[in-house]
A and B are shown apart, each in its own frame.
Chain A
Amino acid sequence: MSNTTPGASASSSAEADRSGGGSGEPHHFRRMVMVWAPLAVVADVLFYFLAGPHIPPGKMTSSAGGAQLDFNILFIIALPVILGVWIFMGYSIWSWRASRLPGDPEVSPNSHGNFKVQFGWIAGTSSIVIGLFVFGTLQLIVPAGAGGGEGPTPIWTPQSGTVLPVQVIAQQWKFTYRYPTFGGFETTSLVLPNDTTIAFHVTSLDVIHDFWAYQLGVKADANPQADNVAFTTTNHVGGFTVRCDELCGLWHGAMFNYGKVVSKAAFETWAETTKTALADNTKYLPPFAWTYIPDANGADGLYYPDNVDPYSKIEIYGAQKTKV
């Protein structure tokens, strides 16, 4: 929009001048641009350097950084558009209002349209939209789905050979996490190694929840009996918040917990320690699976799907095994 407003208004002002706008009338469109252009540049620069680095969700992971970059790019495009429209409206109100120009108001230019303006506007908005689409698609595909849930058969997968699978199990109203690479133990808080690509396998035991690891830039719905996979790569150590982001009933507002990204060594230690400490619990858990049927007796005569062997440790953290 921003780049078309000039052409648009220039030609309509030219037309108005031709149709007897009067000599000595200021070049309104040039004035608007003179207000708009510096303001847009200053606002964009200020935004990018002052607010840009602090835009959520930060830079803790690849997907978080991607989301932040996308937000900043979109904002830098949106700001001049919004300013352009506001300045146009403000200038029109200030400059041509009936109370400022006394006399018969029925002397406004009676233009019913202007092909150049209309064509320019449509071409301009279309090119912005197509540009945004190309950029957004690249940002979606290159970093393996941008942290969003891709369903059970992800088509944009990480380049990294080693991926740590972590299962997120949502139920009314809490999240638990299972680490298939370490014997499938289950914890109530999420610990992740730094500099590692994580594959979150999000599932639910009852209604639809949504696993939103805010600072990680990861969001994936937890559906009953569905395995929703989301990828991200951790870049910084630190704490993060996990919230449920899909209305799941009474205590939805209180369904959150915390996690942290630690160094690889610390994670190894933690995982091995926890595996040992929880060994007695783990053996009573249902065997690890990508999805679970909530009823422990196998509701409706169905049994746990036996399509995965999560216990074999491949390379460092165990690449996800293909389903049988």
Chain B
Amino acid sequence: MAIDISAETARPSEPTEPSSPVVGRTPPPPFRAGGRPAFLEQSILTAGIGAVVGYLFGHWVGNMIAAGYPYISGFSGQNDDAIVLGLAFGAFGWLLGVGALNYPLAKIVGREPAPEVESANWTKYLRFTTDHKVVGIQYFFGVFTFFFTGGLLAMAIRTELLYPTNHLIGPGTYIAIVGEHGTIMMMMASSLVVGPLGNYLVPLMIGSRRTAFPRVEASSFWLFTAGYLVIICALPLGGFPTGWTGYAPLQTQGAGGMDAYLVGFAVIGLGMILAGFNLIVTIIHYRAPGMSWSRLPIFVWSILATSALLTLATPTLVAAGLFGILDRTAQTAFFVTERGGSAFLWENLFWFFGHPEVYIMALPGFGIVSELLPVFCRKPLFGYRVAAAGMFGVALLSFFVWQHHLFQSGINPDMRPLFMLTTELISIPTGFIYLVTLGTLWKARMRFDVPMLFCLGMLFNFLIGGVTGVFLSDVPVDVTVHGSFFVMAHFHYTIMGGLVFAMFAGIYYWTPKVTGRMLNQKWGKIHFWTMFIFFNMTFFPLFIVGLLGQPRRVFEYASNLQVWNDFSSVSAFCLGASFLIFVGNFLWTIIIDPHPAPDNPWDSLGLEWQTATPVPYYNFDRIPVITNDPYHYSEPDAAPVADLTPVPPRVAPTP
């Protein structure tokens, strides 16, 4: 079927189809600037050199500025100015070294920037590359580096908690590990889906050849990696004692690792803002003709809602972090009570970011599950509009709930009923997602492939996580469970049980598209069952432990809680091992002994499956014309999703 779209696409604002059908089919020829040898080109290697040089330079400047002023060094006895400037210049050097700033710098000095190096081999994954598919894969390895680093730290935490009073790790190291685990996991989870799947799939799903701002997109990834390096630096700098929430005045008191926390969140926060901004503009402006809002895949809706949160909430964190940095270096007093500041200011600023942040970690999971269920149920998505409305309802309400983290903090209590109400209201749009999924399951001929198993696992876990959230919103119950392991179990059920399970559903589902290779399904099922069982065995007992009175982030606990803690620890080790199954499966079936995948192994109607595998450089030979939404399963008479070979528009010859 070929649809004549010439009338619609002839508008000058439309990304017009080139008159020659061959253009855009092949990537540009490889280009090597100045014929340099490969190892001299800008890559992660030069980025590393830039980071080291930047750190040394910043550290030197900091010592120049602040040496000889002992009061600047604060509680920690370290020169915070040198550390902050070192880390900031290190991150800057990393970006400079990888070439993220080549284009703007060239423009600033009035020169034409060198064309981008497009290389066909695997080294493009180690470079600053503007192809959204390469950035997506870079993000995939990036988030999993974060994830496994944080996971190893979690193993250390559970090891220490094997004994109530005997210590394998000292209290200082323990606190550093807890803070590092929390911060790394939060940073990872903010980009876990948006980074790899959002960047890779959104253009394919909306029929675009690229994202709106490819250089911004690529920069967001390199900022993300720079954030990783900065936050890892916290450990050799002495760690930070505050956990991921960074409460002042403990923040002002913390050692040099605290600077890494503040700079790291600022760097990665900048990356989050840019990533969200790019995706919002892409989704609004780069949809193919015919991709109306009511045909947008539900996953893209979830990415749109998440990106809105990333762009609007994260600036608060960056600003609050800047205040913290100034308190620690320039002796300002934003959070210092005895000089007129307020510790409550940090709490409010942090949670004003922090609560939208936790929905940044939930919405993409809803999106993946709602996107995948119709494929494996062979049914249309039940209540498409309700699902989209639910995601935006959650996103909007998430800005009005932050004080539920501060119910006992000593702020004025008169707003407490309001925040209890908004927090409980947010369970209504969240409930929409369950309405949609349960409605889709009704009378569905379900196939239990690995992605479907992970989707069902996500629904199972997130239900527990969501319902316990209502307990936490009730102020009298919160008096007991606030700050206890109950909270900790709750948010692990929502983030790990929800988002990480959904992410694995997405990985098993889209790997054939991305790589053209199939993950082993039998090992995938073993991975699912071990992960599902041990996840629940790890975190369910922690609800009980919390109710029985164990606060979070403690290295010692009441000896009567040892049985529960040991049960959880041993399960956590098994949970950690279950990821090795995935890693082994991935390495073996994707890299070592590739098993080619069919073009559309799940018989999906999604637009991303309609283009060739592996996806060509420009995604689509022609900009497709969307004719239907991608959920018309069990409807043999339904129109196809898109016309991939529309008649080229009659472009008027340019005068």
Contact = CB atoms under 8 A, between A and B. Distances in A.
> Are both chains from one complex?
yes
Interface of A: 1, 8-9, 12-13, 16, 21, 28, 55-57, 63, 66-67, 69-71, 74-75, 78, 81-82, 85-86, 88-89, 92-93, 96-99, 101, 105-114, 117-118, 121-122, 125-126, 129, 132-133, 136-137, 139-141, 143, 145-156, 202, 206-208, 210, 212, 214, 217-221, 223-226, 228, 230, 241, 243-254, 293-294, 299-300, 302
A139 B384 CA distance: 38
A74 B432 CA distance: 20
B456 interface: yes
Interface string B492-530: 000000000000000000000000000000000000000
A296 to B, nearest CB: 13
A225 B340 CA distance: 11
24 contacts: A21-B443, A56-B549, A85-B438, A110-B379, A112-B383, A112-B384, A118-B435, A121-B435, A122-B432, A129-B425, A129-B427, A132-B474, A133-B417, A140-B417, A151-B412, A152-B410, A214-B549, A224-B337, A243-B549, A247-B245, A248-B250, A251-B171, A253-B554, A253-B555
Interface in B413-453: 413-414, 416-417, 420-421, 424-425, 427-428, 431-432, 434-435, 438-439, 441-448
B111 interface: no
B242 interface: yes
Contacts of B635: 110
A8 B437 CA distance: 13
Contacts of B216: none
Contacts of A56: 480, 547-549
B410 A246 contact: no
A125 B431 contact: yes
A221 B475 contact: no
Contacts of A151: 410-413
Given A220-B410, A243-B549, 16 more contacts: A74-B477, A108-B444, A109-B379, A109-B442, A122-B428, A133-B417, A139-B474, A148-B478, A151-B413, A202-B410, A217-B480, A221-B410, A223-B410, A225-B338, A252-B554, A254-B556
B475 A146 contact: yes
Nearest to B478: A148
B460 interface: yes
Contacts of B379: 108-111
Contacts of A86: 460, 463
B78 interface: no
Contact of B417 (A55, A121, A137, A244): A137
Contacts of B411: 151
A132 B4 CA distance: 56
A247 B247 contact: yes
A276 B442 CA distance: 75
A141 B417 CA distance: 9
Given A118-B383, A122-B428, A253-B556, A150 B413 contact: yes
Nearest to B410: A228
Given A105-B378, A208-B343, A140 B416 contact: yes
A79 to B, nearest CB: 9
B408 A207 contact: no
B241 A97 contact: no
Interface string B231-251: 000000000011101010110
A89 B463 CA distance: 12
A148 B253 CA distance: 27
Interface in B339-376: 339, 343-344
Contacts of B467: 78, 81-82
A244 B548 CA distance: 15
Interface string B445-471: 111100000001001100110010011
A251 B174 CA distance: 10
B484 interface: yes
Task: With a 10 A CB-CB cut-off, give which of A86, A125, A147, A302 has the most chain B CB atoms.
Answer: A125
Contacts of A208: 247, 249-250, 343
Interface string B526-570: 000000000000000000000111011111111000000000000
A243 B561 CA distance: 15
Contacts, number: 306
B121 to A, nearest CB: 41
Given A140-B476, A224-B343, A249 B253 contact: yes
A-B pairs with lowest CB-CB distance, top 10: A228-B410, A253-B554, A105-B445, A146-B476, A253-B555, A245-B483, A207-B250, A108-B379, A92-B441, A70-B476
Nearest to B422: A133
Nearest to B474: A136
Given A105-B378, A106-B633, A221-B408, A118 B551 contact: no
B351 to A, nearest CB: 13
B171 A108 contact: no
A70 B378 contact: no
B20 interface: no
B476 A67 contact: yes
A294 B174 CA distance: 28
B654 interface: no
Contact of A302 (B338, B417, B547): B338
A57 B547 CA distance: 8
B622 interface: no
B471 A74 contact: yes
B555 A74 contact: no
Contact of A252 (B385, B413, B456, B553): B553
B479 interface: yes
B250 A149 contact: no
Contacts of B133: none
Nearest to A210: B483
Contacts of B474: 70, 74, 132, 136, 139
A47 to B, nearest CB: 14
A129 B633 contact: no
Contact of A113 (B382, B425, B482, B557): B382
Contact of B408 (A112, A219, A244): A219
Contacts of B473: 136
A110 B439 contact: no
B479 A93 contact: no
B381 interface: yes
A226 B410 contact: yes
B172 interface: yes
Contacts of B243: 247
Nearest to A66: B476
A88 B446 CA distance: 14
A300 B171 contact: no
A148 B474 CA distance: 12
Interface in B602-655: 631-636
B479 A219 contact: yes
Contacts of A28: 443
A300 B412 CA distance: 27
Nearest to A112: B380
A57 B480 contact: yes
A13 B411 CA distance: 50
A253 B439 contact: no
Given A108-B633, A125-B431, A249-B250, A218 B479 contact: yes
B475 A148 contact: yes
Nearest to A102: B445
